[in-house]
Structure 1
Amino acid sequence: MHGQELTRFVIGIIGNVISGLLFLSPTPTFWRIHKKKTTEAFHPYPYLASVMNCVLWIFYGLPIVHPNSILVVTINSAGLFLELCYLAIFFCYTNKKNRGIIVLFLLAEAALLAGIVVITLVCFHTHVKRSMFVGIVCIVFGIIMYGSPLSIVAKVVRTKSAEFLPFWLCLAGFSNGVVWFAYANLYSFDLYIAIGNGVGGFLGLVQLLVYGFYTFKAWRRGPVQTDVKPGEVQLQNVANRPSV
């Protein structure tokens, strides 16, 4: 292992660590759910979406699709395990309606994944074509999830308060996008990881700028009151999850 190949591997390890921290970020939320024995105003959608994201990137990183992507497979396998644990806890403490949603979404995701796998293996017979097809699908899902915190940004703009925009998660999301974008550009250029995480890094930067702007404004005018309840905002949004 020499030069850019070694650098790429090291950056990939760093990316795994940052992504792992992001996957662990909902832990306080689920500890709160466990203690209160209720899911309150939280929703299962971010965790369901993250499950699909992880599964798609695991498939992308397999040797039959895109060889030499073991670090993509390892971090998303760990992420998939954690997301399923979160959903299991959510399932235990939520209402009957949300339980039905969880089951239906997981079945739909399994069916969608099966369709993607069949199309990939039957219709595409080279690594380049398989990587292109699965990579495009991953990019679409990744951009949707990276973009979803814009709902929180909109709330910050409306309330003129960055209280519900978690700084460390925004910073980690931005760092995750930057690190994996760098990983994609070293040794063997990976267009799909580059696009997905390039967009993710940019959206993370937007969140940080919004946070900085409203934090600075709040600092200048002093403490303000807000009638927004913490339970109304999903701090551990799926958009802060890694897209690799």
Structure 2
Amino acid sequence: MISKEDARTLVGILEYFDFDGKRPTFYKIWKKKAVEEYSALPYLATFFNCGLWILYGLPMVKPNSTLVLTVNGTGFAIEIVYLSLFLIYSIPMKRLRLVAVVVAECFFLAALALCVLLLVKKPKSRSDIVGSICMAGNIMMYAAPLSIMKLVITTKSVEFMPFFISFFSFINGLCWTTYALLKFDAFILVPNSIGSALGFAQLVIYATFYKSTQRILAQRKAQGGDVNLAKIDAERNPNGDVLNGV
């Protein structure tokens, strides 16, 4: 019979597929050589979140958390690649904001690591401090894809709300929730149970606007051009304020 540790290992390995779920989006960005209306917020949030969990998984902070360390270390590296593509194919203003946010996140991670490792002596206190911050960062990561909601509602389209990000966000939350339950860890359990609920909400939103998205894409194809989604709906939404953030 499979042990709890083996089950946790299996669940942890499944987490690697969450990062791969974003690959189709970046293939589109690379092919078109433009980020269009895709938002970098989910990737910035995941980059920051992985950095926090790397710190949490260090032996001097939370012993016996190898999977937390390795999974998030891999995710951190993958997010660097994704953000690099955003940096290359963004317009100058977006590129500047992206760099500013990444620098701020790295500064915070470095400052937190130094403070915790140098000023806090007990591992239990270290894990409590970092774990509490990880919870907030994790919830932010799950909520980040919802930042595109303004565009979705304005255009009645989920074209720039990638399905696989929402799907794997839901699966990611379920996997880490299971992982935390097998060997109870409240810092992992609480944000990921919330995350699975947010992921499910994103899937509901995707399903709600899927048909209208197909109609818009068909209209664009009929017009014979790769027209920006906002321009296609300009007449229907003359005062539409399309999300054009980071």
Q: Which amino acid aligns with 2:105?
A: E
Measured in 2, the distance between the counterparts of 1:52 and 1:189 equals 24
The answer to whether 1:203 aligns with 2:198 is yes
Number of the residue aligned with 1:61: 57
Distance 1:41 1:81, change over 3 A: same
Measured in 2, the distance between the counterparts of 1:54 and 1:137 equals 12
Measured in 2, the distance between the counterparts of 1:165 and 1:210 equals 10
Distance 1:172 1:141, change over 3 A: same
Number of the residue aligned with 1:100: 96
Task: Give how far 1:66 is off.
Answer: 0.6
Gaps of 5+ in 1: 235-244
- Deviation per CA, 1:71-100: give whole Å up to 9, x if none: 111111111111111222222233333332
Q: Is 1:178–1:198's contact at 8 Å kept on the other side of the alignment? A: yes
Higher relative contact order (CA 8 A, sep 6+): 1
Measured in 1, the distance between the counterparts of 2:70 and 2:82 equals 19
The answer to whether 1:139 aligns with 2:140 is no
Q: Is 1:52–1:109's contact at 8 Å kept on the other side of the alignment? A: yes
Measured in 1, the distance between the counterparts of 2:153 and 2:97 equals 31
Instruction: Please say which of residues 38-47 and 159-168 is displaced more in the overlay.
Output: 159-168
Measured in 1, the distance between the counterparts of 2:143 and 2:39 equals 17
Q: Is 2:38–2:160's contact at 8 Å kept on the other side of the alignment? A: no
Secondary structure at the counterpart of residue 25 of structure 2: helix
What are the equivalent positions in structure 2 for 1:181-192 lying under 5 Å apart? 181-186=177-182, 188-192=183-187
Gaps of 5+ in 2: 220-227, 232-241
- Aligned identity (percent) is 38
- Deviation per CA, 1:52-84: give whole Å up to 9, x if none: 111111111110111111111111111111111
Tell me how large the CA RMSD over aligned residues is: 3.3
- Deviation per CA, 1:127-172: give whole Å up to 9, x if none: 2211111111111111112112334456556666666654444332
Measured in 2, the distance between the counterparts of 1:155 and 1:123 equals 44
Aligned residues: 225
Q: Which amino acid aligns with 1:8?
A: R
Distance 1:8 1:44, change over 3 A: closer
TM-score relative to the length of structure 2 = 0.76
